[in-house]
A and B are shown apart, each in its own frame.
Chain A
Amino acid sequence: DIVMTQSPSSLAVAAGETVTINCKSSQSLLYSGNQKNYLAWYQQKPGQSPKLLIYWASTRQSGVPDRFIGSGSGTDFTLTISSVQAEDLAIYYCQQYYDIPWTFGGGTKLELK
């Protein structure tokens, strides 16, 4: 199985700050056939289902604010949230869909400082 490792596991931020969440995969998620990285990011607020933010490592899902930016390639990926708002407090998960079984990172909890 591809192991997804996120860091940090939790992060305290003040509103307006920019935060970076890291995700590392145990093998490359870059498929040579289409030069795409098979990596997605989800946001899960307390008591809610996860919500898709980004796929192909950097493509924002429709309706997702542009302060959410995905980047990276191969085995190292980043989710950057610029000017964090109170509504962004949640747990963020990365997920690889390069190979079955699809696997998730352990999550990064974003808390208010």
Chain B
Amino acid sequence: EVKLLESGGGLVQPGGSLRLSCAASGFTFADFYMSWIRQSPGKAPEWLTFIRNKANSYTTEYNPSVKGRFTISRDDTQNVLYLQITTLRAEDTAIYYCAKLLYDATYYYGVVDAWGQGASVTVSS
């Protein structure tokens, strides 16, 4: 069974930084593209970023809305996905989900076939 368990959320002051972690199990983590998605209270999910696997040089893509403040990374030896967030703003308040991307036939696609339970981040003074 695929499991994704986020940690590192909490209350942060505006301007602060945070690093979220996602411990993955139940699948060969190193093979898969992984992503972060957030959801503000009462809103639709917002895709933030994804990272490719080693075979694709761990390259990354970002939503322009967060590029420059958010950094995705992974540790395939520990099966952990990370999201570093800097210069936090009130509008970054959300549930942050770790997500596994779909592998279909021969390629990876921007479809989330497994979600974590989410880490709550509140930005407030």
The chain A residues found within 8 Å of chain B, CB to CB, are 38, 40, 42, 49-52, 55-56, 61, 93, 95, 97, 100-107
Contact = CB atoms under 8 A, between A and B. Distances in A.
Interface string B110-125: 1111011110000000
Interface in B69-116: 97, 102, 104, 109-113, 115-116
How many chain B residues sit at the interface, stated as a range, is 20 to 34
Interface of A is mostly: loop
A38 B47 CA distance: 15
Nearest to A99: B110
Interface of B: 44-47, 61, 63-65, 97, 102, 104, 109-113, 115-118
B44 A55 contact: no
Contacts of A55: 102, 104, 109, 111
Contacts, number: 52
A43 B64 CA distance: 26
A77 to B, nearest CB: 14
A106 B43 CA distance: 7
B112 A107 contact: no
A55 B103 CA distance: 12
A4 to B, nearest CB: 9
B97 A49 contact: yes
Contact of B44 (A56, A100, A101, A104): A104
Contact of B47 (A52, A61, A102, A107): A102
